[in-house]
């Protein structure tokens, strides 16, 4: 309960670009979650993702990357490699990789995130809320890499087919 209230306040502060205050609250929420749930709980992964966003906004890409990687490791271990939370973690990490100009790595991460989200849609009959956002980011990244719209569309259709969705 307390961690949830702290997290909500931290989000509001982050959105208001009061990053020092937001980071302090996100860190406090992380401490509470780690103490109550353990260091490798999916809620801890979410808290790490929130902190990574603050680091990303600040331009502290090394810290953002480290936190994204830790969140990814937790979610893969606890939820499985094809859980939508893993897709979220991959997508967040891809933003960091783009900012670090590691475009090939960002492309690989985003493709994997899309595959997870498409597989989720196939299994559950409904898309994850972030699916359109991930597709848009993938398209933007591919455009930056010089891919044509038809090449990008073909790749997305291929990922859908691989997940068992109609292209």
Here the tokens at position 31 are: 């401490």
Tell me which range, 56-65, 133-142, 150-159, is most confidently predicted by mean pLDDT: 56-65
The Cα–Cα gap between 6 and 152 comes to 41
Q: Which residues touch 102 (CB under 8 Å, ≥6 apart)?
A: none
Percent of the chain with pLDDT over 70: 99
Structure confidence at residue 146 (pLDDT): 87
Q: Over the stretch 68-110, which tens digit does the pLDDT of each residue have? A: 999 999 999 999 999 999 999 999 999 999 999 999 899 899 9
Better-predicted residue by pLDDT, 163 or 149: 149
Structure token pair of residue 105: 């790595």
The pTM (predicted TM-score) of the whole model is 0.88
> How many CA atoms are closer than 13 Å to the CA of 34, on its beta-carbon side?
12
Question: Whole-number mean pLDDT of the chain?
Answer: 92
Q: What is the pLDDT of residue 167?
A: 52
Q: Which residues contact 61 (CB under 8 A, 6 or more apart)?
A: 55, 96, 99, 100
pLDDT at 2 over 90: no
**What is the token pair recorded at 88?**
């979220």
pLDDT tens readout for residues 112-127: 999 999 999 999 888 8
Q: Which CATH number applies to 1-79: 2.40.110.10, 1.20.20.10, 1.25.40.10, 3.90.230.10? A: 1.25.40.10
pLDDT digits (tens, 9 = 90+) for 28-65: 999 999 999 999 999 999 999 999 999 999 999 999 99
Residues near 29 by Cβ (< 8 Å), separated by ≥ 6? 3, 6, 7, 10, 47, 50
Q: What pLDDT does 3 receive?
A: 73
Spans of all domains in the chain: 1-79, 101-167
Q: What is the mean pLDDT of residues 6-15?
A: 91
> Could you count the other beta carbons within 10 Å of the beta carbon of residue 164?
11
């Amino acid at each position: 309960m307390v961690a949830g209230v702290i997290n909500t306040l931290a989000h509001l502060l982050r959105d208001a670009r009061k990053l020092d205050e937001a980071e302090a609250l996100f860190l406090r929420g992380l401490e509470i979650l780690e103490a109550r749930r353990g260091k490798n709980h999916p809620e801890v992964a979410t808290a790490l993702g929130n902190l990574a966003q603050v680091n990303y906004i600040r331009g502290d890409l090394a810290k953002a990357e480290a936190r994204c990687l830790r969140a990814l490791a937790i979610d893969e271990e606890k939820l499985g490699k094809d859980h939508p939370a893993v897709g979220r973690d991959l997508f967040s990490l891809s933003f960091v990789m783009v900012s670090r100009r590691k475009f090939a790595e960002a492309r690989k991460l985003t493709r994997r995130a899309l595959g997870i989200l498409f597989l989720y849609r196939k299994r559950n009959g409904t898309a994850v809320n972030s699916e359109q956002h991930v597709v848009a980011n993938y398209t933007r990244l591919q455009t930056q890499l010089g891919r044509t719209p038809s090449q990008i569309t073909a790749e997305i259709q291929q990922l859908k087919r691989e997940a068992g969705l109609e292209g």
